[in-house]
A and B are shown apart, each in its own frame.
Chain A
Amino acid sequence: MKTPKALASINMVILSIFLMPVFYMVWRFFTFTRSFESFFDSWNVYGLLFNTISMFFAVVISSLVLGLLISIILIRFKITGSKILFTLCTLPLVIPSYIGALTYISAFSPKGLYVQIFSFTGLSEINGIEGFIGSWIVLTLFTYPYVLLICSSALRNLDSTVEEAARSLGVKRFRIYTSVVIPRLKKPIIYSGLLVGLYVISDFGAVSLMRYSTVTKAIYTYYEFSLLGDPIIFYSGLLIFLALIISFIQRGSDVSRSAKVSGTPRIPARVELSSRSKLLVYFFFAVVIFFGLMLPVSVLSYWLIRGLSLGNDVRAVFGGVVGSFSASIITSILAIIISMPIVIMVSQYRSKFGDFIEKIILALYGLPHLAVGVSILFITVKIFPSIYQSFFALVISYLIVFLPQAVGGGQASMEQVKTSYIDASSSLGKSKIETFRKVTFPLIYRGLLAGGALVFLSTMKELPQTLLLRPTGFDTMAVDVWSFASEGLFTQAAFSAFILLAISAIPTYILSTRNLSG
C-alpha cells in the first residue's frame, strides 16, 4: 500500500529533528579549526582510547563468562531453587551503574558499612576499589544480567538432538559445552556481549565516580573546565563512531531475526550433581548474589539508617524527586505521541522509506547519551540560544535516545494489527477513524504504554544528558546521586539512590526481563 503523503512528511520532520545531533557532529568534524593530527599530538587521545577499549574487552569477557556460566548451571543441572536463583541473579540489572559505583566506593570508605563491620581487625579503609579494577567489577556486576537473560532464553530453546548426536559420537559430557552448545549460542552471545559493550563505552557515571579516565570522563572534564568546543566535539564524535560500529555488528546478530528450528525443541534432562559440586555451586551463587545485590542494598540501607538517626535532612532530595518525575512524565508522553506516526509508517506501510526509518531508529538506540547531550548542548549554544539550558532542550535530548524504546513497544503490538483487520472493519461499514478507535487502538495501546513506561524509567535514571543540559536549579534524583557521591556526601547520595531504586526497580525488572528473554 502507498504511504499517505501527510504521514510521510510528518515522519520526515521527526526524522530530521532526531538526526540533527549526528549531522551537527559531522559538520563540526569537517570544520575543526585545527588539523586532525594535532589532536592526537596534543591530547592523550591514545591513552583514553586504550582505557575505554580495554574496559570494553574486560567487561564484555567477564560478563559473558559470568552470564553463560549461570545460564548453563541453572538450565542444564538439577539445582533446588533454580527459579529464585535466576531472579536474584538477574535483579542487579535494575541498579544503574552510577548507583552501583556509589555503593562500592562508599562501602569501603572510612565510615562505610564494610569497613565498620571489619573494624575489629584494625581495618580503616580498603584502597583499590576504584580506577580500572573498581569500574571493571561494578560494570560487570550490573551488566552480566543482560547476557544471562538473552543467553538463558536461547539455551532453553536449544534443541538437544545435536548434543545427543555428539554424545553418540563419543564426545564427553563437559566437552559437549565447548564443542556443541556454546558454538550454537554464537548469535545470542555476540548480541548480548555487544549490548554490554555498548553500555560500557557509553557509561559515564561509574567510570567517573571510580576516577577512571575514559573517553566519556574526558568529555565531561573538558565540559566542566571550559566550554572549549574542539576537544569535546572530537571525543564525542569518536564515541559515536565507536558506538555505531558496535551496534552495526550487533544488529547483524540480532537473535530475533535468526531462523528458528521448526517444531518444539527437545529439552535435555537436567543433570544431577554430586553433593560436593552442589556445595561449590551454591557457594558460587552466594558470592555472585552477595556482590551484585546484597552489598549494594545493604550499603544503601546502612547510609539511609545512619543518616536518619543522625538527623540528616531528607528534604534536600525532594527537589530531585520532583524534577525526575516531571521530566520523566513529559518525556514518556511525548515519546508515545511522537512514536505513533513512525510505528504506523513502519508496520502498516512496507516501503523503502519505512525500512530506512526503522534502521535509523535502531541506530539511534546505540548512541551514547553523553555524546547526544554534547551535540544538543552545542546546537542550543550556537544555533538556538533561546532554548539553551531550557527544559525543552533537555526533553528533546531525552527523546532522541529513548524514542526507540517507545517505537519498539508500539511496533511489537502493531504487528498484531493485520491489514485484513482494517479491511474487515471497513467492509463492515466502519470509517477510518472508527476503525482506528475500535480496532487498531485497542490492539496497540498496551504496547504503547509499555514502551512509554520504559521511556519513563530510562529518563528517570538518565545521568549524563541531564548533567549537561539541565536548566539551572533543576535537579533529578540521578543528578543528586552523582553530585552528592562525587563530593563524598554518601548519606545524601544514598537517600536519592534509595528512592530512585524503590520507584524504578520492580517495573524495570518486569519490563527488561519481558523484552530481553523474548
Chain B
Amino acid sequence: MVFDNLIIRARSLEKTYGNEAVLTDFNLDVWKGSIFGILGVSGSGKTTALRLLAGFENPDSGIIEMYDKIVYDEETNIPPEDRNIGMVFQDYALFPHLNVEKNIGFGLTSKDINKGRLEEVLEMCNLKQYRNKFPQDISGGQQQRVALARALAPKPDVVLLDEPFTSLDAHMARDLRDEVVSLLRETETTAIIVTHDQEEALSVCDIVSVLEDGKVMQSATPQEIYLNPVSQNVANSVGDPNILKGFSKKGRVETALGTFVSAYEGALDVSIRPECIELSLDSKGAYVVKECIFYGHDQVVSFENSAGQIFRSRSLPSTIFESGDKISIEISEVTTFPSNT
C-alpha cells in the first residue's frame, strides 16, 4: 500500500489529570486511507489520545494538524463539531430517542439526505430492514453497525473507533471486525482504532502504535512490531515471549537456553517467542516437559531446565508430549534488548 497524503499529525501532546500524567510526548502520523491502531492496556492513555484528537478534551500542550491545517495549538482550538472527525464510541452512544434512520441521519443536512446519502449509507451497512427500529430493540452487533454508519454518513476525513468490539462476544466480534474493516477499505476511509486486543491491532491495522503509561513505545507496521520489538515491554504487549537475562561479551550472550549472537554489549534481555522453540523427544535431552496444553490448532508446552527455570514453546500438535518426557530444543530466532534493570 502506498500512502502519499498525511491526514492527521500530532506532535508532543501532553495531558495531565491532577498530578497524573496520562499522555507524555504523544506523536502520531496517520496517512490518508490507512487504518491506524493504538494498542495499549487500560489506563495506558489510549482513549485520552482519541478524545484529544476528536476535540472532546484539550491537551495541556502540543499541536494537532489535519491536512497541514492547525486544529489545535496554543492559539487555535477548532471545536469537535468543526473538525470533521467521526467517532464510534465504546458504548456506541446511539441516541435512544431516535430510530436507526434518524440516528444515522443525525449528522447529515437535509440537502445530503435529498441527495440520497442516507439511503446509500443504510445500503452500505446492511441496515435497511432496521431503519425504523430503535437502538434498544436491536442486537449489539446491529447497534455497532449503526454507530459506524452514523459516523461514516457525513463523510468524515477520519473515523475514530474506541474499543469498537469489546462489548460483543468473541465470535461476533471477529465477524463484525472483518465486515467493518472491509467497509473501511472499500470506502477508503481513514481510521484510528484504539484497542487492547493485540490480535485485533496486528490483523487489522496498517500501522500500530504501542502505548504504555501515556508514552508511545513503538510505532510501526504490525510485522515490524511483532518481529522487531524495540523493548521487552513492546514484545510483551504483542506476544507472550520467554524473556531471559544475559550478559553480552564480544557480541555473544549466554543464557539458560543457549548462546546467541547480540548486537549489544553488557546486560541484556533476550526474548524468544514460543513458536521459535522447536522441541523433540530425546532421552538424553537436557530439558523436562512440565505440562502440555492442547488448543487444537496448536499446543503450548512448558518445560524446565536443570535449574528449575520454566519456558514455553508453541508448536503444531503433531508430536504428543507428556509430563516428565525428556526433550531437546532448537531455537530459530531470538531478539535482544539492552536490559531495563
Contacts and interface: CB of A to CB of B under 8 A. Distances in A.
Interface residues of B, number: 25
Contacts of A425: 95, 106
A329 to B, nearest CB: 27
A420 interface: yes
A438 B106 contact: yes
A426 B55 CA distance: 9
A430 B108 CA distance: 10
Given A429-B82, A429-B154, A438-B106, A424 B87 contact: yes
Contact of B93 (A420, A429, A431): A420
A327 to B, nearest CB: 33
Contact of A421 (B82, B86, B95, B107): B95
A418 B93 contact: yes
Contacts of B54: 423, 427
A107 B89 CA distance: 64
B154 A423 contact: no
A423 B150 CA distance: 13
A10 B96 CA distance: 30
Interface string B87-112: 10111010111000000001100000
B106 A428 contact: yes
Given A418-B93, A439-B95, A443-B97, A426 B79 contact: yes
Given A427-B54, A428-B106, A430-B81, A443 B87 contact: no
B56 A423 contact: yes
B56 to A, nearest CB: 5
A429 to B, nearest CB: 5
Contacts of B82: 429
Contact of B89 (A420, A426, A431, A443): A420
A427 B106 contact: no
B194 interface: no
Contact of A428 (B91, B97, B154): B154
Contacts of B55: 426
B107 A429 contact: yes
B223 to A, nearest CB: 32
Contacts of B95: 421, 424-425, 439, 443
B79 to A, nearest CB: 7
A136 to B, nearest CB: 48
Contacts of B154: 428-429
A390 B266 CA distance: 89
Contacts of B93: 418, 420-421, 423-424
A439 B96 CA distance: 9
Given A416-B96, A442-B97, A443-B97, A426 B91 contact: no
A443 B134 CA distance: 14
Of A421, A424, A426, A443, the most chain B CB neighbours within 10 A belong to: A424
A427 B86 contact: yes
A424 B92 CA distance: 9
Contact of B150 (A426, A428, A439, A442): A428
Interface string B208-252: 000000000000000000000000000000000000000000000
A428 B85 CA distance: 8
B81 A443 contact: no
Contacts of A426: 55-56, 79-81
Contacts of A423: 51, 54, 56, 80, 87, 89, 93
Interface in A158-209: none
A420 B91 contact: yes
Interface in A234-292: none
A427 B97 contact: no
A244 to B, nearest CB: 34
A418 B91 contact: yes
A427 B91 contact: no
A438 B96 CA distance: 12
A427 B158 CA distance: 11
A428 B82 CA distance: 9
Nearest to B107: A428
A438 B95 CA distance: 10
Contacts of B84: 429
A185 B80 CA distance: 49
Nearest to B57: A1
Contacts of B96: 416, 443
Contacts of A443: 95-97
A411 B126 CA distance: 37
Contacts of B150: 424, 428
B151 interface: yes
Nearest to B56: A423
A438 B87 CA distance: 18
A428 B81 CA distance: 6
Contacts of A420: 89-91, 93
A428 B80 CA distance: 8
Nearest to B108: A428
A501 to B, nearest CB: 35
A29 to B, nearest CB: 41
B79 A427 contact: no
A425 B80 CA distance: 9
A424 B89 contact: yes
Nearest to A418: B93
Contacts of A424: 87, 89, 93, 95, 150
B99 to A, nearest CB: 13
Question: Shortest 7 CB-CB distances between A and B: which pairs?
Answer: A428-B107, A420-B93, A427-B87, A424-B93, A426-B80, A426-B81, A420-B89
13 contacts: A420-B90, A423-B93, A424-B95, A424-B150, A426-B55, A427-B151, A428-B86, A428-B107, A429-B82, A430-B81, A431-B81, A438-B106, A439-B95
Given A418-B93, A430-B81, 11 more contacts: A420-B90, A420-B93, A421-B93, A423-B56, A425-B106, A426-B80, A426-B81, A427-B54, A427-B83, A429-B82, A430-B107
